[in-house]
Chain A
């Protein structure tokens, strides 16, 4: 099947039918959620502090839910009413706004502690009407994203470039808007698992800023997508999350914040970021007696 961007404008393509896939297709849910987890990891937010995050092209709120589970609050924007309505019906915690990112984000300056976007910004490379100019829309989008972020905040945007020209166009547009950072390509040797993340820093230049390491870049990912440890790891993350969702028997199974499961999951994610985290023990997440 041809790429969605070539079939119809986003607000048409993401109609009722497509929105319902994001509710019922477990493979799709798993893939989107694990990319959102990876993006959140690369935001490198300060430990344990709830942040205000932006999710561009938030769709039905799958990615936002990953942010909620880590205790953050988010605002999502999307061009599809159906996707947003589905998010609203599911009762996501975040704020939802119907807006076209190609016309810019419409938020006060310097608000967000970080931004993510999963599988959305490649849509900006496509002109849907004669007035649409992809270069202009990308420029407007990145300039408004830069302004909406707090100085020193990061944005991690996963996308599917159709060809090297689009990859170059998107990356160059981000740099022109003043962002630092660049591309992280996870599983570069695998056709199926390969994922592009634009990992951006909203200035000023930060000498301690380090680009995240790509997963599976050591050549272990052999392209058949079944053997190497790192890929298996990503799949497992998706799976356990999926499992948690199903456990809710139809309703969304949220891990209560500060519950033991939540703490253990959070510690796991911090370990993955390479942070020093205490081992889990029977005391993990137990409430302590008040100290006087």
Chain B
């Protein structure tokens, strides 16, 4: 589960079930092509605090600021750091916990299960 995916997922059966807390995770890093335009387009769709929270829960070091910079589209260093955490950090095993109901959903082999 990439963190871009995590940033979109909500808890089944609870509209306020966001963000899902990540527990007991093992993380792998993969390398993927950097597409500045795509990452830049994703910024407006992200829940920034949820992303920072997920990074903290995973204990992944990063260089992201506490808020999105104003001129982020021209800020290549920022976009590259964001690219890395969004699509190169992959949660392989662990659990997702609904913040409202504490219901748990497993992540196995890199795939979160909401069933």
**Interface residues of A, Cβ cutoff 8 Å to B:** 49-52, 71, 73, 75, 79, 81, 84-85, 88, 93, 95-100, 103-104, 106-108, 111, 256-257
- Is B111 touching A88 in the complex (CB atoms < 8 A)? yes
- Is A111 touching B112 in the complex (CB atoms < 8 A)? no
Beyond A106-B12, A108-B18, whether A96 also contacts B111 by CB under 8 A is yes
Complex Cα–Cα for A103 and B115 (A) = 9
Say if the beta carbon of B109 comes within 8 Å of chain A: yes
Say if the beta carbon of B5 comes within 8 Å of chain A: yes
Complex Cα–Cα for A71 and B41 (A) = 13
Beyond A99-B115, A107-B9, whether A257 also contacts B2 by CB under 8 A is no
Of the candidates A49, A75, A79, A93, which one forms a contact with B8 in the assembled complex, judged by CB atoms under 8 Å apart?
A75
Beyond A50-B35, A75-B8, A95-B5, whether A106 also contacts B111 by CB under 8 A is no
Task: Tell me the B5-28 residues at the A interface (CB within 8 Å).
Answer: 5, 8-12, 18
Nearest CB of B to A242, in Å = 23
Can you list 5 A-B pairs with a CB-CB distance of less than 8 A? A73-B42, A88-B110, A97-B113, A98-B113, A108-B47
**Interface residues of B, Cβ cutoff 8 Å to A:** 1-2, 4-5, 8-12, 18, 32-33, 35, 37-38, 41-42, 45, 47, 87, 109-115
Residues of B within 8 A of A106 (CB): 9-12, 114
Residues of B within 8 A of A256 (CB): 33
Residues of B within 8 A of A107 (CB): 8-10
Complex Cα–Cα for A104 and B114 (A) = 10
Q: Which residue of B lies closest to A72 (CB)?
A: B38
Residues of B within 8 A of A103 (CB): 12, 115
Q: Which residue of B lies closest to A147 (CB)?
A: B15
- Is B2 touching A95 in the complex (CB atoms < 8 A)? yes
Q: Which residue of B lies closest to A85 (CB)?
A: B109
Which 8 pairs from chain A and chain B are nearest by CB?
A: A95-B5, A98-B113, A50-B38, A99-B114, A107-B8, A106-B10, A96-B111, A106-B12
Beyond A49-B41, A107-B8, whether A97 also contacts B35 by CB under 8 A is no
Nearest CB of A to B76, in Å = 15
**Given A99-B12, A107-B9, 5 other A-B residues pairs in contact with their CB atoms under 8 A:** A71-B38, A85-B109, A88-B110, A97-B113, A98-B112
Complex Cα–Cα for A111 and B10 (A) = 12
Residues of A within 8 A of B1 (CB): 95-96
Residues of B within 8 A of A84 (CB): 111
Complex Cα–Cα for A107 and B12 (A) = 9
Beyond A88-B110, A106-B114, whether A97 also contacts B45 by CB under 8 A is no
Residues of B within 8 A of A52 (CB): 41-42, 45
- Is B35 touching A257 in the complex (CB atoms < 8 A)? yes
Nearest CB of B to A56, in Å = 13
- Is A97 touching B32 in the complex (CB atoms < 8 A)? no
- Is B9 touching A97 in the complex (CB atoms < 8 A)? yes
Complex Cα–Cα for A206 and B45 (A) = 23
Q: Which residue of A lies closest to B17 (CB)?
A: A106
Residues of A within 8 A of B115 (CB): 79, 98-100, 103
Complex Cα–Cα for A192 and B44 (A) = 44
Nearest CB of A to B82, in Å = 13
Beyond A50-B41, A96-B110, whether A108 also contacts B10 by CB under 8 A is yes
Residues of B within 8 A of A96 (CB): 1, 5, 110-111
Complex Cα–Cα for A107 and B112 (A) = 13
